[in-house]
Structure 1
Protein backbone atom coordinates (compact mmCIF):
# COMPACT_ATOMS: atom_id res chain seq x y z
CA UNK A 1 0.00 0.00 0.00
CA UNK A 2 1.29 3.44 -0.94
CA UNK A 3 1.74 5.83 1.97
CA UNK A 4 0.91 9.51 1.52
CA UNK A 5 4.27 11.31 1.86
CA UNK A 6 2.75 14.75 2.53
CA UNK A 7 2.40 14.45 6.34
CA UNK A 8 5.98 13.22 6.76
CA UNK A 9 7.47 15.86 4.45
CA UNK A 10 5.40 18.66 5.98
CA UNK A 11 6.52 17.85 9.51
CA UNK A 12 10.12 17.39 8.39
CA UNK A 13 10.28 20.73 6.56
CA UNK A 14 8.49 22.58 9.34
CA UNK A 15 10.83 21.25 12.03
CA UNK A 16 13.92 21.97 9.93
CA UNK A 17 12.65 25.53 9.51
CA UNK A 18 12.14 25.90 13.27
CA UNK A 19 8.52 26.99 12.83
CA UNK A 20 5.70 25.85 15.09
CA UNK A 21 2.52 24.36 13.66
CA UNK A 22 0.59 27.41 14.81
CA UNK A 23 3.05 29.89 13.31
CA UNK A 24 3.11 28.08 9.97
CA UNK A 25 -0.67 28.06 9.87
CA UNK A 26 -0.84 31.77 10.64
CA UNK A 27 1.89 32.50 8.06
CA UNK A 28 -0.23 30.93 5.32
CA UNK A 29 -3.41 32.74 6.34
CA UNK A 30 -5.15 30.44 8.80
CA UNK A 31 -7.03 31.86 11.76
CA UNK A 32 -4.77 31.95 14.80
CA UNK A 33 -7.25 30.02 16.95
CA UNK A 34 -7.42 27.03 14.58
CA UNK A 35 -3.98 27.09 12.92
CA UNK A 36 -2.25 24.67 15.28
CA UNK A 37 -5.06 22.11 15.16
CA UNK A 38 -5.37 22.22 11.38
CA UNK A 39 -1.63 21.89 10.87
CA UNK A 40 -1.59 18.98 13.33
CA UNK A 41 -4.28 17.23 11.29
CA UNK A 42 -2.22 17.71 8.13
CA UNK A 43 0.92 16.34 9.80
CA UNK A 44 -0.95 13.35 11.22
CA UNK A 45 -2.50 12.61 7.82
CA UNK A 46 -6.06 13.02 9.09
CA UNK A 47 -6.67 15.66 6.42
CA UNK A 48 -4.79 16.52 3.24
CA UNK A 49 -4.30 20.17 2.30
CA UNK A 50 -5.53 21.31 -1.09
CA UNK A 51 -2.89 22.21 -3.65
CA UNK A 52 -3.08 25.98 -3.07
CA UNK A 53 -2.62 25.51 0.69
CA UNK A 54 0.24 23.12 0.02
CA UNK A 55 1.87 25.71 -2.28
CA UNK A 56 1.60 28.35 0.46
CA UNK A 57 3.23 25.94 2.90
CA UNK A 58 6.02 25.18 0.43
CA UNK A 59 6.70 28.88 -0.07
CA UNK A 60 6.67 29.57 3.68
CA UNK A 61 9.02 26.65 4.36
CA UNK A 62 11.34 27.36 1.44
CA UNK A 63 10.83 24.04 -0.31
CA UNK A 64 9.50 23.31 -3.81
CA UNK A 65 5.94 22.04 -4.09
CA UNK A 66 7.10 18.67 -5.44
CA UNK A 67 9.07 18.11 -2.21
CA UNK A 68 5.82 17.10 -0.49
CA UNK A 69 5.29 14.27 -2.97
CA UNK A 70 8.75 12.69 -2.67
CA UNK A 71 8.51 9.16 -1.34
CA UNK A 72 12.10 8.96 -0.07
CA UNK A 73 14.63 11.31 1.51
CA UNK A 74 17.01 11.21 -1.45
CA UNK A 75 14.29 12.36 -3.86
CA UNK A 76 13.25 15.07 -1.39
CA UNK A 77 16.81 16.33 -1.10
CA UNK A 78 17.22 16.33 -4.88
CA UNK A 79 13.95 18.26 -5.30
CA UNK A 80 15.23 20.95 -2.93
CA UNK A 81 18.65 21.15 -4.56
CA UNK A 82 17.27 21.27 -8.10
CA UNK A 83 14.78 23.99 -7.16
CA UNK A 84 17.70 26.26 -6.27
CA UNK A 85 19.30 25.91 -9.71
CA UNK A 86 18.70 28.32 -12.55
CA UNK A 87 17.29 27.15 -15.89
CA UNK A 88 20.72 26.87 -17.51
CA UNK A 89 22.07 24.87 -14.58
CA UNK A 90 19.08 22.53 -14.73
CA UNK A 91 19.64 21.94 -18.46
CA UNK A 92 23.32 21.21 -17.82
CA UNK A 93 22.37 18.79 -15.06
CA UNK A 94 19.93 16.98 -17.35
CA UNK A 95 22.57 16.78 -20.09
CA UNK A 96 25.12 15.45 -17.61
CA UNK A 97 22.77 12.82 -16.23
CA UNK A 98 21.63 11.75 -19.68
CA UNK A 99 25.19 11.49 -20.97
CA UNK A 100 26.18 9.36 -17.96
CA UNK A 101 23.11 7.17 -18.34
CA UNK A 102 23.27 6.84 -22.12
CA UNK A 103 25.03 3.51 -21.68
CA UNK A 104 21.99 2.22 -19.77
CA UNK A 105 19.35 3.94 -21.88
CA UNK A 106 20.58 3.47 -25.43
CA UNK A 107 17.03 2.92 -26.63
CA UNK A 108 15.96 6.45 -25.55
CA UNK A 109 16.83 9.49 -27.66
CA UNK A 110 18.91 12.00 -25.70
CA UNK A 111 16.21 14.70 -25.79
CA UNK A 112 13.25 12.37 -25.16
CA UNK A 113 12.52 13.77 -21.70
CA UNK A 114 12.64 17.37 -22.87
CA UNK A 115 10.41 16.65 -25.87
CA UNK A 116 7.90 14.79 -23.71
CA UNK A 117 7.52 17.81 -21.44
CA UNK A 118 6.73 20.23 -24.28
Structure 2
Protein backbone atom coordinates (compact mmCIF):
# COMPACT_ATOMS: atom_id res chain seq x y z
CA UNK A 1 0.00 0.00 0.00
CA UNK A 2 1.48 3.32 -1.05
CA UNK A 3 0.72 6.44 0.91
CA UNK A 4 1.69 9.88 -0.35
CA UNK A 5 2.53 12.24 2.45
CA UNK A 6 4.32 15.44 3.24
CA UNK A 7 7.33 13.24 3.95
CA UNK A 8 7.43 11.66 0.49
CA UNK A 9 7.12 15.01 -1.24
CA UNK A 10 9.74 16.73 0.95
CA UNK A 11 12.21 13.86 0.57
CA UNK A 12 11.97 13.97 -3.20
CA UNK A 13 12.16 17.77 -3.21
CA UNK A 14 15.27 17.87 -1.00
CA UNK A 15 16.99 15.12 -2.99
CA UNK A 16 16.34 16.86 -6.30
CA UNK A 17 17.51 20.19 -4.91
CA UNK A 18 20.82 18.52 -4.01
CA UNK A 19 20.93 16.98 -7.51
CA UNK A 20 21.54 13.50 -6.17
CA UNK A 21 20.03 10.24 -7.41
CA UNK A 22 18.02 7.92 -5.20
CA UNK A 23 20.81 5.35 -5.48
CA UNK A 24 23.55 7.80 -4.52
CA UNK A 25 21.55 9.11 -1.57
CA UNK A 26 21.01 5.57 -0.35
CA UNK A 27 24.68 4.65 -0.72
CA UNK A 28 25.79 7.88 0.99
CA UNK A 29 23.69 7.06 4.06
CA UNK A 30 25.01 3.52 4.31
CA UNK A 31 22.52 1.40 2.39
CA UNK A 32 24.04 -1.48 0.42
CA UNK A 33 24.58 -0.35 -3.19
CA UNK A 34 22.61 -3.30 -4.57
CA UNK A 35 19.43 -2.17 -2.78
CA UNK A 36 20.01 1.58 -2.31
CA UNK A 37 17.93 2.73 -5.28
CA UNK A 38 15.00 0.45 -4.47
CA UNK A 39 14.90 1.38 -0.79
CA UNK A 40 15.04 5.09 -1.50
CA UNK A 41 12.31 4.68 -4.10
CA UNK A 42 10.13 2.94 -1.52
CA UNK A 43 10.62 5.88 0.84
CA UNK A 44 9.80 8.45 -1.85
CA UNK A 45 6.67 6.63 -2.99
CA UNK A 46 5.37 6.02 0.53
CA UNK A 47 5.65 2.27 0.34
CA UNK A 48 7.87 2.24 3.42
CA UNK A 49 8.80 4.76 6.10
CA UNK A 50 12.43 4.96 7.26
CA UNK A 51 13.35 4.44 10.89
CA UNK A 52 14.51 7.48 12.86
CA UNK A 53 18.23 6.71 12.42
CA UNK A 54 17.84 6.48 8.64
CA UNK A 55 15.74 9.64 8.67
CA UNK A 56 18.49 11.50 10.54
CA UNK A 57 21.11 10.28 8.05
CA UNK A 58 18.96 11.42 5.12
CA UNK A 59 18.43 14.83 6.71
CA UNK A 60 22.14 15.27 7.29
CA UNK A 61 23.03 14.19 3.76
CA UNK A 62 20.39 16.50 2.26
CA UNK A 63 21.32 19.41 4.54
CA UNK A 64 17.86 19.81 6.07
CA UNK A 65 16.56 19.37 9.63
CA UNK A 66 14.52 16.24 10.32
CA UNK A 67 11.36 18.27 10.90
CA UNK A 68 11.62 19.61 7.34
CA UNK A 69 10.30 16.28 6.05
CA UNK A 70 7.02 16.78 7.92
CA UNK A 71 6.24 20.42 7.10
CA UNK A 72 2.82 20.88 5.51
CA UNK A 73 3.60 24.06 3.58
CA UNK A 74 6.51 25.50 1.64
CA UNK A 75 6.66 28.39 4.11
CA UNK A 76 6.98 26.05 7.08
CA UNK A 77 9.64 24.02 5.27
CA UNK A 78 11.61 27.16 4.46
CA UNK A 79 11.34 28.38 8.05
CA UNK A 80 12.46 24.99 9.39
CA UNK A 81 15.61 25.18 7.27
CA UNK A 82 16.34 28.81 8.14
CA UNK A 83 15.82 28.27 11.87
CA UNK A 84 18.05 25.19 11.81
CA UNK A 85 20.91 27.31 10.46
CA UNK A 86 20.71 29.80 13.36
CA UNK A 87 23.05 29.42 16.31
CA UNK A 88 21.55 29.12 19.81
CA UNK A 89 21.71 32.88 20.37
CA UNK A 90 19.91 33.54 17.09
CA UNK A 91 17.22 31.01 17.98
CA UNK A 92 16.70 32.66 21.38
CA UNK A 93 16.40 36.08 19.74
CA UNK A 94 13.88 34.74 17.25
CA UNK A 95 11.81 33.15 20.03
CA UNK A 96 11.83 36.42 21.99
CA UNK A 97 10.82 38.38 18.91
CA UNK A 98 7.99 36.02 18.06
CA UNK A 99 6.73 35.93 21.64
CA UNK A 100 6.69 39.72 21.89
CA UNK A 101 4.62 39.90 18.69
CA UNK A 102 1.98 37.34 19.71
CA UNK A 103 -0.67 39.91 20.45
Q: Same fold (TM over 0.5)?
A: yes
Q: CA deviation at 1:61?
A: 0.4
The CA deviation string for residues 4-31 of structure 1, in whole angstroms up to 9 with x for no partner, is 3111110000000011000000000011
The answer to whether the aligner puts 1:40 opposite 2:38 as a matched pair is: no
The CA deviation string for residues 49-80 of structure 1, in whole angstroms up to 9 with x for no partner, is 01110000000000001111111111111000
Map 1:28-107 to 2 at 5 A. 28-101=29-102, 103=103
Q: Whole-Å Cα distance in 1 between the matches of residues 5 and 12 of structure 2?
A: 13
Q: Which has the higher contact order (CA 8 A, sep 6+)?
A: 2
Q: Whole-Å Cα distance in 1 between the matches of residues 31 and 91 of structure 2?
A: 35
The alignment's TM-score, normalised by the length of structure 1, stands at 0.82
Q: Report how many residues are paired.
A: 100
Higher alpha-carbon Rg: 1
Q: Please, which runs of 5 or more residues in structure 2 have no aligned partner?
A: none
**Once superposed, which parts of structure 1, at least 4 consecutive aligned residues long, lie more than 3 Å away?**
none
User: Pairwise CA RMSD of aligned residues?
Assistant: 0.9
Q: Please, which runs of 5 or more residues in structure 1 have no aligned partner?
A: 104-118
Stretch deviating more after TM superposition (4-13 or 75-84): 4-13
Q: Whole-Å Cα distance in 1 between the matches of residues 52 and 76 of structure 2?
A: 20
